[in-house]
Structure 1
């Protein structure tokens, strides 16, 4: 599903050049549950932006579902983001004047899907995250955990190949964080590919694979604690 080959990303900072990624090779298959971790400045956010087609590499190739995104123009990247990737952000990014249902429908507007079908798909996505009864509420009428569930429903509504979550529990208390990660656990069990970007070990522990980034390189790539949890559930 995801194949990164020799990905390099450089940024110009005044007269200096910063090497954010220094030759990253990475394969992520369908229905994997991956944590992307590393300290601030490690390159994990740059790697996430490239995975999410929000940025392009200076060198190297990124093949997503058989298409080389490294060669795409801005319109093609926008199309790939809309079709292939569902984003969940730390700060929810919900539109305050819209209802929950309207927020979840929003990504489908850009696909030319009619209003009735948009509403049906959004309603199904909200049922999937346990908010079927909150469709007419506005974001300020919801708790932080409920708002993040709306954000997850909005990410899922277009049936993306990848759910990409950037510090999805960063604004939530520990109990609500556990509930949101349980939702990601369930979505993965249903077949969704999930990539969680986090600096929190207890959040990464939910995932089945943990990739650690430091100094622009992958320094560790191995099984996460979530593999053991899944094995325990099946025995």
Structure 2
């Protein structure tokens, strides 16, 4: 890549919510951003659970410097004891295996070139657990753990892998969350408000930049004070 060429970022789930906000913020920093999403507004329409589609996207996009894994689903609002195996599989497939698949598709090139940034969108639910959202909470705990593992594995490659754990943010994904669940998790935030997508995008932009050099396998809370560890 020539010195004057802009860095290239891929943002999964980039057509709406935190993904769209992150894509917009990275463009402000001068990156060329390619969004992947099931939504027709994405630059490349695909399902992150489809490894073949991810491989084809990687070949189409070419060298990538930054990967932001924002694609995710909340799943149903239901007590654990009423959840089904199918409920769990869909959430884990998208939220966990989707992240793994995207990393397998785009990170090898980063390693080969000796520089890269991976930002995985986890959730404070992955630390605290939200009632009625056991599959989602467990999936985000998995994202945190895989970020820590990958950060250690890639620590000497020039590729940094970090995660962000937001509390509830005002995004379309939360429109389907039951009002009582939303009220509960908002009530846990000491600032007594939900976060804004652009606040999370600012943290994404920092973690995707050269300004970060000695942090990998880390989890950055953006929770309005909810996080306790």
Using structure 1 for the length normalisation, give the TM-score. 0.30
Largest Rg, 1 or 2: 1
Structure with the larger strand share = 1
Give me the TM-score of the superposition, normalised by structure 2: 0.30
- Relative contact order higher in (CA < 8 Å, ≥ 6 apart): 1
